[in-house]
Structure 1
Amino acid sequence: MSKQSLLEVKDLKTYFYIDNKVAKAVDGVSFHIEKGETLALVGESGSGKSITSLSVMRLIPEPPGKIEKGSSVKLDGKELLSLSDKEMTNVRGNDIGMIFQEPMTSLNPVFTIGNQIAEPLMKHKKMKKKEAYVKVVELLKLVGFPRAEEMVHEYPHQLSGGMRQRVMIAMALSCNPKLLIADEPTTALDVTIQAQILDLMIDMKEEFGSSILMITHDLGVVAEVADRVIVMYGGQIVEEAEVKELFTNAKHPYTVGLLESMPTIDQEKERLESIPGMVPPAHAFPEGCRFAPRCKHATEECTKEVPLLVEDEPGHKVRCVLFYGEGKE
């Protein structure tokens, strides 16, 4: 692990065993996140993004799910997959904070906002209740609540979607985590609120010095917040590059398809491009390249064996036979 790496994931395999079928939801994923960096995981629903983040947090339901032997997830050099459940509970909320996709289902409807943000402070930082509530008010002000002293006594149903998401961010940041995992944090919000939440996350990252793992299918969000991007498809990484490089020099046919499906200000198109078909279920991936059945460049070679993830240019990796060359295997 490099000196600056905070999170190091190696050969992560998370499989689900259901009805005598094996669903390879995450299949041999390796990546790292540097200290202070924002890494975006991108792909359609079913590509394995959220399962990757839940595996890092060790929140996979066992059974039917299982993180396979040989997988490794290290945070600051500490192997998370070998920790006991109690030790892992101390990591969650303390070293790793998580912002979930839908705050209404992540917040407990019967407890006040103040109570829920104070809980990790009392658990991990051993604060007394009164001290924790002072910190809660401070956090709510930090995430943009004008009347924070009153908000601590309100319940989730009394808040709008954007306000609930701000509460989730305050809760995730309450213990100054080293890593913040944000799983589709702006999906259910309107465009104006999305922009505010993204700006807030960028500000909070600078304020707390946290690294961010951003899970999203929205390339606009990626362009706004990410330093590096990993594109996932069929439980595997198909491309990895710095954000500017990916947007200007995408290589994998899937990444190119995603970018071509986005509307742009400077080009008028009557009809946007689309990728035919859909992501296959994780228990029925095709032989060879998993994207081959949807790829306009697919050849017979693509259906025979899974292509390797190769470094086509420094810092730019791609999993496609089009980019195999001498010395790249």
Structure 2
Amino acid sequence: MQNQNQPLLEVKGLKTYFYMEQDRVAKAVDDVSFTLKKGETLALVGESGSGKSITSLSIMRLIPSPPGKIVEGSVKLEGKELLTLSDRDMRRVRGNDIGMIFQEPMTSLNPVYTIGNQIAETLMKHKKMRKKEAYKRAVDLLKLVGFARAEEIVNEYPHQLSGGMRQRAMIAIAMSCDPKLLIADEPTTALDVTIQAQILDLMVEMKQKFDSSVLLITHDLGVVAEVADRVLVMYGGQIVEEATVYELFTNPKHPYTVGLLNSIPSLDEEVDRLDSIPGTVPPAHRFPHGCRFAPRCKHAMPECLEENPELRETDAHHKVRCYLYEEQGGEKVG
């Protein structure tokens, strides 16, 4: 029986490295720890190359090996360690306990099978349903995610659907086995703004209907503000800030988070030019020796170039990896 105070998902000291030619090691995820409570939506935010998607693939044990390898750490779902499960047991966890929505459904949906077939196959495999029962459930799920003509969609192929419709079909597949955890990796990136809003509303609705928790991976802070309860900001394979969504938007602490927020256009004030963060995320095999953000940071101090700071709690519900906040009550960056 699960302890009521036990987090649904607990990730501790996760390290996922990629071993490249010429003995180069890309530390894509480097000592990442966080928890996700039951019923919570946790957003993982950062630029491309920050390690967000590799973190989610590590949780699912879908890292391509070689060249990738989870070298250290722990991933527990309701107290059960996933990293030591057999491949067979892990396949049961995927689909049954964890559902996943990918960024581009066209690469996740099989082009030669109908939508109904792909939902039914999941139900037959994980829920041991008979074919007729599985197809009936597939129609019900398609109706649930907003298809008006679900009876027809069930017999159509992915290429016959629009991007938004394919994403709805992916949500139907992901939720088909009533998972405890839904991982959504950039679920709205390829969609136009109107469809994005519909998909986000649908995800919130499905989360409530199925009583699931959500790990949302995104680079879009607008999406975070819309649906998240808590936020993890990633940079250079590490978490640099952790806070409630309200705290993050009203009191950002890490210079990287401040830079991300300052680069968003605001309806309240008119500016000639938006702020931008100089430079780019360094490649994972060439992280700087000290703080990984230091080469792009206007607040960089000598110690930032020498040693990487720890992720520290500055106050309740707020952690930051920055020497400006080594002592509690450090001044706000910005």
Please state which band the TM-score falls in when normalised by the shorter chain.
over 0.9
Residue aligned with 1:93, SS: helix
Counterpart in 2 of 1:260?
A: 262
Residue in structure 2 matching 1:35, options 15, 32, 38: 38
CA contact (8 A) 2:18 2:25 kept: yes
CA contact (8 A) 2:290 2:308 kept: yes
Residue aligned with 2:96, SS: coil
Residue aligned with 1:269, SS: coil
Residue aligned with 2:319, SS: strand
- Alpha-carbon separation, structure 1, partners of 2:269 and 2:74: 44
Structural mapping, 1:37-186, within 5 Å:
37-69=40-72, 71-186=73-188
- Alpha-carbon separation, structure 2, partners of 1:156 and 1:53: 25
Residue aligned with 2:300, SS: coil
Structural mapping, 1:9-20, within 5 Å:
9-19=11-21, 20=23
Counterpart in 1 of 2:276?
A: 274
Matched AA of 2:11: V
- Alpha-carbon separation, structure 2, partners of 1:65 and 1:6: 26
Q: CA deviation at 1:327?
A: 11
TM-score (norm 2): 0.97
- Alpha-carbon separation, structure 2, partners of 1:76 and 1:113: 31
Counterpart in 2 of 1:218?
A: 220
TM-score (norm 1): 0.98
Residue aligned with 1:290, SS: coil
Q: CA deviation at 1:206?
A: 0.6
Q: CA deviation at 1:325?
A: 1.3
Residue in structure 2 matching 1:302, options 296, 299, 304: 304
* Runs (5+) with no aligned partner, structure 1: none
Q: CA deviation at 1:3?
A: 1.8
* Runs (5+) with no aligned partner, structure 2: none
Residues 1:283 and 1:2: Cα distance change in structure 2 (over 3 Å): farther
Counterpart in 2 of 1:321?
A: 323
Residue aligned with 2:83, SS: helix
Matched AA of 1:38: T
- Alpha-carbon separation, structure 1, partners of 2:167 and 2:296: 36
Matched AA of 1:36: G
- Alpha-carbon separation, structure 1, partners of 2:146 and 2:329: 52
Aligned length: 327
Matched AA of 1:127: M
Residues 1:2 and 1:306: Cα distance change in structure 2 (over 3 Å): farther
Over the aligned positions, Cα root-mean-square deviation in angstroms equals: 1.2
Deviation sequence 1:80-114 (CA, Å, 0-9, x none) = 00000000000001100000000011100000000
- Alpha-carbon separation, structure 2, partners of 1:107 and 1:283: 32
- Alpha-carbon separation, structure 2, partners of 1:247 and 1:170: 32
- Alpha-carbon separation, structure 2, partners of 1:206 and 1:221: 18
Counterpart in 2 of 1:230?
A: 232
- Alpha-carbon separation, structure 1, partners of 2:4 and 2:314: 21
- Alpha-carbon separation, structure 1, partners of 2:4 and 2:221: 28
Deviation sequence 1:183-208 (CA, Å, 0-9, x none) = 00000000000000000000111100
Residue aligned with 1:168, SS: helix
CA contact (8 A) 2:6 2:79 kept: no
Matched AA of 2:69: K
Matched AA of 1:118: A
Matched AA of 1:37: E
- Alpha-carbon separation, structure 2, partners of 1:84 and 1:138: 33
Matched AA of 2:244: E
Counterpart in 2 of 1:201?
A: 203
Residue aligned with 2:8, SS: strand
Residue aligned with 2:198, SS: helix
Q: CA deviation at 1:326?
A: 6.5
